[in-house]
Amino acid sequence: MYPAEFDYVRADSVQEAIELLNQHQDSKLLAGGHSLIPMLKLRLAQPATLIDIGRIPDMEGVSLKDDVVQVGALTTHAELTDSETLISLCPLLSEAASRVGDPQVRHRGTIGGNIAHADPASDLPAPLLALDATVHMVGKDGERSVAIGDFFVDLLTTALGEDEVITRITIPIGKDSRGSSYLKMEHPASGYAVCGAAALVSRSNDGSHVRLALNGVTATPCRGGAVEEALKGSDLTDVAIDAAVDDHLSISEPLSDNFASGSFRVHLAHVWSKRALKIARDRVSE
């Protein structure tokens, strides 16, 4: 309940944050704090210094530039939920954000903090993976971009360098008509996803394309690539979806805990994938 001592510095710009990261050994970035502060309170994290990036200007909000949605790293889950841009162009992300925690958590938790923490049971990783998002980060050697699939390295581990700051997440928006769905089985205590499925269905002249990703099931969010491949050009009937998931969704090394064993999670992944794909299909605007 009582965090250990730490120093606190505030960064007014990304550059300053990077400088501070280089100056302070054993430091951590603080944005909304909703992943970090609970760890501090349980003394599972005891950094020497917190660098508060929560007030850096221009790192918050959702905008559209050249068919790419730009999401500032400090954008809160509530802003993701309510963003008109996301609701119209990228409803999968706003739907998933609306399922994060509870209203209070959504008011303060940020997308940058969320992915930096890389909790596999969080709600945002699978939708970002299905959306082919890119994470942009800045360090002392300048800016670099990492595809979301490469960003999550392991449980609570990312490609973010020790002196880097996530500045924004970008999501390409296709021109075809799309439907999407995020479904999850919620852990009754924590509210995290025991299994979350993000599905995206698009229809263009060359037929249907689906994208499917899961969180809560494995140490990092996983993409149902083989299912996507199997459903390429499919008419996406219930039968086709069920068969594709049954035959092609393979999950290795599932997470396991007292609430849900690995094999049950694998089973859930199949059930939720089918359901999410069907809802996404039904939501495709013709």
Partner 1 sequence: MAGVIGSAIKRREDPALIQGKGRFTDNLSVPGMQYASIVRSPYAHGRIESIDTSAAQATPGVVAVFTGKDIEESPSGGVVPTVWLLPTLKTPPHPILASEVVRYVGEGVAVVVAENPYIAKDAADRVSVEYEPLGVVCDPEDAVAEGAPQLFEEAPRNLAFEWELGESEPVEEAFTNAPKKVELKLRNNRILPHPIEPRSALASYEDHSGELTLWLTSQNPHVHRLLMSLASIGLPEHKIRVIAGDVGGGFGGKIHHYPDEAIASWCSMQLNQPVKWTATRSEGNLTDAHGRDHVTRAALALDEEGRIRGFKVETHAAMGAYLSTFAPAVPTYLYGTLMSGQYDMPAIHVSVKGVFTNTAPVDAVRGAGRPEATYVVERLMDLAATELDLDPVEIRRRNFVAADAFPYQTQVALEYDSGNYQGTLDRALEIAGYDELRAEQTRRREAGEKPLGIGFSTYIEACGLAPSQLVGALGAQAGLWEAAKIRVHPSGSVTLFVGTMAQGQGHKTTYAQIVADRLGIDLESIDVREGDTGEMQFGMGTYGSRSAAVGGSAVVKGLDRLIAKGRLIAAHLMEASPDDVVFENGRYSIRGGDPSEGHSFGEVTLQAYLAHNLPEGTEPGMEETAFYDPANFTFPFGSHIAVVEVDPDTGEIELLRYIAVDDCGNVINPMIVDGQVQGGVVHGIGQALWEEALYDDGGQMISATLLDYALPRAHKVVSMELDRTTTPCPHNPLGVKGIGEAGAIASPPAIVNAVVDALKPYGIRHLEMPLTPEKVWRAIHPGEDA
Partner 2 sequence: MTYPVSVEVNGQVHERDVEPRLLLVHFLRQMLGLTGTAVGCETGLCGACTVIIDGETVKSCIQLTVQADGTKVTTIEGLASNGDLHPLQKSFWDDHALQCGYCTPGMIMAAKGILDNNPHPTEAEIRAGLKGNLCRCTGYQNIVKAIQNAAKGGE
Q: 142: how many CB neighbours lie within 10 A of its CB?
A: 8
Question: Binding to partner 2 by residue 42, rule CB under 8 A?
Answer: yes
> What is the contact mask toward partner 2 in residues 98 to 137, using x (rule: CB under 8 A)?
---xxxxx-xx-----------------------------
> Own/partner pairs for 57-63, CB < 8 Å, 24+ apart?
57/13, 59/14, 59/112, 59/167, 59/168, 62/86
Question: Binding to partner 1 by residue 1, rule CB under 8 A?
Answer: yes
Q: How far is the CB of 189 from partner 2 (least distance, A)?
A: 8
Q: φ, ψ for residue 238 (rounded to 5)?
A: -55, -40
> What is the contact mask toward partner 2 in residues 137 to 176, using x (rule: CB under 8 A)?
----------------------------------------
Binding to partner 1, residues 5-34 (CB under 8 A)? 5
Contact yes or no for 202/178 (Cβ under 8 A) = yes
- Which of partner 2, partner 1, none lies near 267, with the C-beta cut-off 5 to 8 A by kind? partner 1
Structure tokens at 271: 């059930």
Q: Give 15 or 190: the residue with its C-beta nearer to partner 1.
A: 190
Contact yes or no for 150/181 (Cβ under 8 A) = no
The label of the residue with tokens 């249907």 reads 208
Q: Give 12 or 26: the residue with its C-beta nearer to partner 1.
A: 26
**Which among 117, 127, 97 is positioned nearest to 215, based on CA atoms?**
127
The residue from 12, 23, 38, 153 that contacts partner 2 (CB under 8 A) is: 38
Q: How far is the CB of 49 from partner 2 (least distance, A)?
A: 9
Q: How far is the CB of 74 from partner 2 (least distance, A)?
A: 12
The residue from 16, 52, 264, 283 that contacts partner 1 (CB under 8 A) is: 264
Question: Binding to partner 2 by residue 37, rule CB under 8 A?
Answer: yes
Q: How far is the CB of 131 from partner 2 (least distance, A)?
A: 25
Cα–Cα distance measured from residue 231 to residue 245, given in angstroms and rounded to the nearest whole number: 9
- Which of partner 1, partner 2, none lies near 6, with the C-beta cut-off 5 to 8 A by kind? partner 2
Instruction: Classify residue 31 as left (phi > 0), alpha (psi -120 to 50) or beta.
Output: alpha
Segment lying near partner 2 (by CB under 8 A), choices 40-48, 56-64, 217-225, 234-242: 40-48
Question: Distances in Å between the alpha carbon of 43 and those of 114, 121, 151, 286?
Answer: 19, 21, 26, 52
Cα–Cα distance measured from residue 64 to residue 252, given in angstroms and rounded to the nearest whole number: 36
**Which among 286, 64, 62, 66 is positioned nearest to 176, based on CA atoms?**
286
Question: Binding to partner 2 by residue 23, rule CB under 8 A?
Answer: no
Query: Which residues here bind partner 2, judged by CB under 8 A?
Result: 1-8, 10, 30, 33-34, 37-38, 40-42, 50, 52, 54, 78, 101-105, 107-108, 189-191
